[in-house]
Chain A
Amino acid sequence: MTINGRQVSAEVEPRTLLVHFIRENQRLTGTHIGCETSYCGACTVLVDGQTTKSCTMFAVQAEGTSIMTIEGLADGETLHPVQEGFWERHGLQCGYCTPGMIISAVGLLDQNPSPTEDEIRHGIEGNLCRCTGYHNIVKAIEYAAAKMRGEEPAPPDWEHEEVSA
Chain B
Amino acid sequence: MTTTTSVLGGSVRRREDPALIRGTGRYVDDLSLSGMLHVAFVRSPYAHATLTSIDASQARAMDGVHAVFTADDVRQLGPLLAQVPVGKLRPLLADGVVKHVGEAVAMVVAESRYLAQDAAEAVFVDYDPLPAVVNPTDAVGDGAKVHDDLASNILITWEGGPWGNEEGVAATKQAIADAKKRDDVVVVSQEMVNQRLIPTAIEPRSVVAEWNGGYGRFDVWSSTQIPHAVAGAIAKTFGIASNGVHLVAPEVGGGFGAKLNVYNDEILVCFASRELGRPVKFTETRRESPHSTIQGRGWVATATITGTRDGEVLGYELHGVCDMGAYTQNFTVAIPFLGVFVGSGQYKFPTHMKLDCVTTHTMTTDAYRGAGRPEAIYYLERILDNYAAAIGMDPADVRRMNYIPAEDFPAAVAPIGFAIDTGEYVKNLDAALSHFGWSDLLAEREAARQEGRHLGIGLTSYVEVCGFGPSGLADLGFSWTEYGLPSAFNGSGLVRVNPDASVTVIIGTGPSGQGHETTWAQLVSRQLGIPVERIRVAHGDTAESPMGVGTFGSRSAAVDGAATHQAALEVREKAARVAAHLLEASPDDIVFADGGAHVAGSPDKSVGWDEVAKLAYQPHLLPEGMAGGLEAHSIFSPANATWPFGTHIAVVEVDTETGEVDLLRYLAMDDCGNVINPMIVDGQIHGGLAQGIGQALFEDAVYDDDGNLLTGSLVDYPLPTASDLPSFELARTVTPTDINPLGVKGIGEAGTIGSAQTIVNAVVDALRPFGVTHIDMPLRPRRVWQAIKDAKNGSEG
A residues adjacent to B (C-beta < 8 A) = 13, 15-16, 23-24, 27-37, 39-40, 42, 69-71, 73-74, 79, 83, 86-88, 90, 92-99, 102, 117-118, 120-122, 124-138, 156, 158-165
Contact = CB atoms under 8 A, between A and B. Distances in A.
B512 A92 contact: no
**Interchain residue pairs A-B with the least CB separation, the first 8:** A30-B23, A96-B253, A94-B513, A95-B20, A133-B690, A70-B23, A93-B513, A133-B686
26 contacts: A16-B114, A29-B30, A30-B22, A30-B24, A32-B202, A74-B22, A90-B679, A90-B682, A92-B17, A93-B513, A93-B514, A94-B201, A94-B203, A94-B253, A94-B513, A95-B19, A96-B27, A96-B253, A98-B20, A129-B722, A131-B513, A134-B720, A135-B728, A156-B679, A158-B678, A165-B434
A160 B690 CA distance: 20
Given A90-B679, A90-B680, A161-B731, 12 more contacts: A29-B26, A29-B30, A37-B713, A93-B515, A94-B203, A95-B251, A118-B723, A121-B723, A131-B254, A131-B683, A133-B728, A138-B722
Contact of A69 (B23, B680, B687, B724): B23
A94 B714 contact: no
Interface string B727-764: 11011111000000000000000010000000000000
Interface string B669-703: 10000000011101100111111000000000000
B34 interface: no
Contact of A132 (B22, B428, B435, B687): B687
Interface string B521-548: 0000000000000000000000000000
Contact of A13 (B22, B114, B287, B434): B114
B22 A71 contact: yes
Contacts, number: 219
Interface string B1-38: 11100100001011011111111111101101000000
Contacts of B515: 93
B715 interface: yes
A28 B24 CA distance: 9
Given A37-B715, A130-B202, A159 B11 contact: yes
Contact of B13 (A24, A88, A133): A88
A36 B285 contact: yes
Given A42-B202, A92-B17, A128-B719, A136 B251 contact: no
A96 B32 contact: no
A36 B286 contact: yes
Contact of B201 (A16, A70, A125, A130): A130
Interface in B339-387: none
In this complex, the member of B13, B200, B714, B722 whose beta carbon has the largest number of chain A beta carbons within 10 angstroms is B722
A160 B731 contact: yes
B450 interface: no
B725 interface: yes
Given A129-B202, A162-B6, A39 B715 contact: yes
Contacts of A29: 23, 26-27, 29-30
Interface string B407-449: 0000000000000000000111011001100000000000000
Nearest to B6: A162
Contacts of B200: 130
B24 A165 contact: no
B687 A130 contact: yes
Contact of B17 (A34, A73, A86, A156): A86
Most chain-B CB neighbours within 10 Å: which of A15, A35, A97, A99? A35
Nearest to A69: B23
A128 B780 CA distance: 19
B26 A165 contact: no
Given A35-B286, A87-B18, A125 B687 contact: no
A50 to B, nearest CB: 19
A83 B13 contact: no
Contacts of B251: 94-96
B638 interface: no
Contacts of A98: 20-21
A160 B682 CA distance: 10
Contacts of A117: 727
A74 B722 CA distance: 25
A29 B285 CA distance: 17
B204 interface: yes
A124 B724 CA distance: 11
A28 B25 CA distance: 11
B299 interface: no
A104 to B, nearest CB: 10
A29 B428 CA distance: 46
B248 interface: no
A105 B69 CA distance: 45
Contacts of B713: 35, 37, 39
B793 interface: no
Interface residues of B, number: 78
Contacts of B434: 163, 165
A85 to B, nearest CB: 9
B282 interface: no
Nearest to A89: B679
B715 A95 contact: no
Contact of B202 (A34, A134, A161): A34
Given A94-B201, A96-B254, A32 B722 contact: no
B624 to A, nearest CB: 49
Contacts of A160: 730-732
Contacts of B16: 95
A93 B6 contact: no
Contacts of A42: 202
A136 B286 contact: no
B327 interface: no
B98 to A, nearest CB: 25
B727 A164 contact: no
B260 to A, nearest CB: 14
B404 interface: no
A29 B29 CA distance: 9
Contacts of B1: 161-162, 164
B692 to A, nearest CB: 10
A8 B149 CA distance: 60
A72 B662 CA distance: 39
B20 A92 contact: yes
B256 interface: yes
Contacts of B689: 133
A164 B201 contact: no
A133 B714 contact: no
B203 A158 contact: no
Contacts of A87: 13-14, 17-18, 21
B558 interface: no
Nearest to B686: A133
Given A86-B17, A96-B253, A98-B20, A163 B683 contact: no
B687 A93 contact: yes
Given A90-B14, A94-B512, A95-B513, A121 B722 contact: yes
Nearest to A92: B20
Given A70-B23, A162-B6, A128 B431 contact: no
Contacts of B686: 132-136
A163 B669 contact: yes
B318 interface: no
A26 to B, nearest CB: 12
Contact of B29 (A33, A83, A99): A33
A72 to B, nearest CB: 9
A13 B64 CA distance: 15
B548 to A, nearest CB: 20
A134 B727 CA distance: 8
B52 interface: no
Contact of A125 (B114, B426, B723): B723
Contacts of B321: none
B252 interface: yes
Contact of A79 (B21, B286, B680): B21
Nearest to A94: B513
B76 interface: no
B602 interface: no
